[in-house]
Structure 1
Amino acid sequence: MEHNKFSKDFILVVIGQIISLFGNAVMRFALPMHLLNVTGSAALLGVVSGLAFIPLAIMSPIGGLIADRVNKKNIMVCLDFFTAFLVTLFVLLYGEINIVTIILVMLFLLYGISGAYQPSVQSSIPLLVSEEKVMPANAAINMVSSLSGLLGPALGGMAYAAWGIMPVLYVCIGCFIFSAVMEIFIKIPFAKRERNASLFHEAKADLIESIHYISKERSEIGKLTLCCACINISLSALMIIGLPVIVMQVLEFPSSQDASQMYGFIEAILAMGGLAGGLYAGIFGSKMDIRGFWKMLLAAGILLIPIGIVLLIDCSAYTAYAVMAVSGLIIMACATIFTIQAMSYIQITTPAQLIGKVIAWIIALSTCAQPIGQVLYGFTFEKLAGHLWIIFFVSAAVTALIAVFGKKICGQLKSV
């Protein structure tokens, strides 16, 4: 049975991810919700959340360049320690600076760090596991993200409702410090590359090489990335902006505290969907074919329709909430399976010296689309305050069209 086990170093990566991503999940839940509670503006939430993704898109290519040239373990350790320092600084400055400004700056920094961090994690997987274990390893990493998202919003929502923002921030500081200490003991194979030109020229050459690879040499990877970007506009942004607005401002729960807790629970339910998708991919990964990914996207689009229906008809807050929860859970499972399939395909088919940069471009390009969707949905939810069902029906139609585009490119993908 030994050959079926993951290495000790990969297990340490997973444990470090559990702790670090739990802190990230709590922060990314608590800060936007606190902003919405303080300002009451869905449009402002959309703008701030959308702008926060810009540094992620900028830092991902830089993180990819670094991941292919620097020991990946050192990147993880340094960034976790730095994040703990930033959250501590936020606590010290809270109340001294305008709330919108300080939350915007903090989200900028958090997403920028994430952009530099994730290429190191993703590109380390092929170095720590054999090829046949790449999809189960990706499933494990995604399940960790889902589990962190499951516990983070649920516990963060209850803690925020009971005690406010500060206790949540203290927990996050501890998470990042503990994760950094854990990652010190990881051993990731690293071969230092000799420099033949200036740092600027080498970085430029690396970027050009990776862009050519995903756009010309392996154009199917570029098209997969385009699908991810379009899904982020039509689906991901809707879930990020739509759910907090509907749960906290549209559905009539007995109190605002109940609304905060119910939003925390629905975020946890969505994370359970991601966990279920990760389990499915981990167990049945060897039987899954990347060329059927479009079916996952089509199913996710269809499941937006029930949410639109409960917003159109006159039903109780708890009935609407239940429909949103069930649909959201299945949507997240489908999206997670698609993500694991796409990432595993890229890791297996991309040369080792390009993995960090290629993954970084995919993260950057797909997340560039999300701010557009978030800003769009933020304003649309305010303009169509009495007709929110329209948004979900239109998004369902757009997502179905993306699935049709995905079906057309499946013939270019190789079976792995």
Structure 2
Amino acid sequence: MKNTTKLFNKDFTLMVIGQIISLFGNSILRFALPLYLLDTTNSAALFGAVSACSLIPMITVTPFGGIIADRANKRNIMVFLDFLTALLITVFAFSIGKFNLIFMLIVTSMALYGIQGAYQPSVQASIPLLVDRDNLLPGNAVINQVSSLAGLLGPIIGGILYGFYGLTPILIASIICFFVSAVMEIFIKIPYTKQETTSSAFAIVKEDFATSINFIFKEKPVLFKTITLISCFNLFLSSLIMIGIPVIITQILNMSSQAYGVTQGMLAFGGLCGGIMTGILVKKIKIYHSHIILSLAILCLIPMGLVLMFNVSNMISYIVVTACCFLIMALSTLFSIQILTFIQSETPGHLTGKVISFCLAMTMCSPPIGQIIYGYLFEVLKNDAHIIVFIAALASGVIALMSKKVFSSMRNNEVYIEVCNDRE
């Protein structure tokens, strides 16, 4: 018999609202700080290098965040980290003008991404505890849509504030967001059973790492293959979006920070639409269709490369680039929700936080490399940016073709099929 338990219970609703507020603060910061660096230094190479450095703590902290999420109260983790982020931005705001700008941005960005690396596993591991299994896929879609909504509003509002008033009001707004989110999260009740242990902290971490690695590499090798493909995809496509789009819009097309904010907002709107598409197409699009979704996302790079190659007017080029970014993010979100649900459905509850965080960390290893490469390429090939875009499209296309065999092997996965069929 079909389970009719509603998705938006009190605790899940509180988490969703808290996520909207927290992620909005995070979104305006992630928009403003890199743009502030790019505007101040006018160096794509430095922009790429700083962005790459910022991700390193997230990569290293995320697996530990998963271990902590499985052993500690997830609500307390989220509350503590939101308060910590508010404190961090407060310190940064009072330090402007007193220390070297690049040093401050590197340290602050690294700290922000490190905190996010510890924060996100707790959120993802909480979803199966707050919703029933038949609501798992739409629950993931809602959290993803929340992220996209915050990402939509953040850059647009951030672009307006930054363009007219500079960095200060953005810092103030983000501090308020993190503080309010932390207070709201205090009232969430997430099921928690304390795990008794006599082992040392080092022994616990070592054991949990070994358990995660054994599960991914030996018990579920399809997860490792999937992670490897996503890492390669992130190297070529995701890194291009992260580094190339700001450079293309603000330096090559000479558009304003407000225009860049709109593009970032459309990226987030694409993510929001991708989450909606997941709910609508849940009965039709399965995990073994994922290579098709990736291929469609890659095709969106072609129009971007063409307008840059033929020197189309700046405004038309901007519109085409922004539209392609929207489509890429919509398709990427549809893909990522499918993958996340697959991992959750394949992983026992007591391993969810560890395995998801380990998977996230592995997929995040490639973007710093890609960001450094793209930063250098856009520095030396700024007048031939279309070459960079076409190379990225070609490399990503090869990866999409290779992924077909991996995703097709998931066609007969019983657990994932059961989760999806519960929605029918």
**TM-score relative to the length of structure 1:** 0.97
Amino acid at match of 1:36: L
User: Would you say 1:43 and 2:40 are equivalent positions?
Assistant: no
**Partners in 1 of 2:169 and 2:76 — Cα distance?**
29
Q: CA deviation at 1:44?
A: 0.4
Q: CA deviation at 1:288?
A: 2.5
Q: Which residue of 2 aligns with 1:355?
A: 352
Q: Which residue of 2 aligns with 1:372?
A: 369
Q: CA deviation at 1:125?
A: 0.6
**Partners in 2 of 1:161 and 1:375 — Cα distance?**
27
Q: Which residue of 1 aligns with 2:400?
A: 403
Amino acid at match of 1:395: A
User: Would you say 1:381 and 2:378 are equivalent positions?
Assistant: yes
Q: CA deviation at 1:412?
A: 3.1
Q: 2:313 aligns with which of 298, 313, 316?
A: 316
Amino acid at match of 2:13: I
Q: 1:64 aligns with which of 66, 79, 82?
A: 66
Amino acid at match of 2:45: A
Identity %, equivalent residues: 47
Amino acid at match of 1:176: F
Q: Which residue of 2 aligns with 1:210?
A: 212
What does residue range 82-93 of structure 1 map to in structure 2 within 5 Å?
82-93=84-95
For 1:252-279, what per-residue CA distance to the aligned partner results, in whole angstroms no more than 9, with x for missing partners? 44xxxxx111100000011111010000
Q: 1:3 aligns with which of 2, 5, 8?
A: 5
Amino acid at match of 1:124: S
**TM-score relative to the length of structure 2:** 0.95
Amino acid at match of 2:401: V
**Partners in 1 of 2:257 and 2:103 — Cα distance?**
23
User: Would you say 1:337 and 2:334 are equivalent positions?
Assistant: yes
User: Would you say 1:185 and 2:187 are equivalent positions?
Assistant: yes
Q: Which residue of 2 aligns with 1:160?
A: 162
Amino acid at match of 1:303: C
Q: Which residue of 1 aligns with 2:33?
A: 31
**Partners in 1 of 2:170 and 2:90 — Cα distance?**
12
Question: 1:53, 1:108 within 8 Å by CA — same for their partners in 2?
Answer: yes
Structure 2 residue ranges without an equivalent (≥5): 418-424
**Partners in 2 of 1:384 and 1:321 — Cα distance?**
19
**Partners in 2 of 1:6 and 1:221 — Cα distance?**
30
**Partners in 2 of 1:397 and 1:315 — Cα distance?**
22
Structure 1 residue ranges without an equivalent (≥5): 254-258
Q: 1:285 aligns with which of 282, 289, 298?
A: 282
Question: 1:297, 1:402 within 8 Å by CA — same for their partners in 2?
Answer: no
**Partners in 2 of 1:252 and 1:156 — Cα distance?**
19
Amino acid at match of 2:93: V
Q: CA deviation at 1:2?
A: 6.0
**Partners in 1 of 2:198 and 2:192 — Cα distance?**
19
Question: 1:140, 1:282 within 8 Å by CA — same for their partners in 2?
Answer: no
Question: 2:7, 2:139 within 8 Å by CA — same for their partners in 1?
Answer: no
Q: CA deviation at 1:198?
A: 1.7
Q: CA deviation at 1:196?
A: 3.8
**Partners in 1 of 2:314 and 2:390 — Cα distance?**
20
**Partners in 1 of 2:71 and 2:125 — Cα distance?**
12
**Partners in 2 of 1:275 and 1:86 — Cα distance?**
29
Q: Which residue of 2 aligns with 1:394?
A: 391
**Partners in 1 of 2:156 and 2:408 — Cα distance?**
41
Amino acid at match of 2:20: I
Q: Which residue of 2 aligns with 1:256?
A: none
Query: When the two structures are aligned, how many residues end up with a matched partner?
Result: 411
Superposed CA RMSD: 1.1
For 1:9-53, what per-residue CA distance to the aligned partner results, in whole angstroms no more than 9, with x for missing partners? 111111110000000000011000000111111110000001100
- DSSP 3-state at the match of 2:71: coil
For 1:71-97, what per-residue CA distance to the aligned partner results, in whole angstroms no more than 9, with x for missing partners? 000000000000000000001111100
Amino acid at match of 2:370: G
**Partners in 1 of 2:198 and 2:402 — Cα distance?**
42
Amino acid at match of 2:396: T
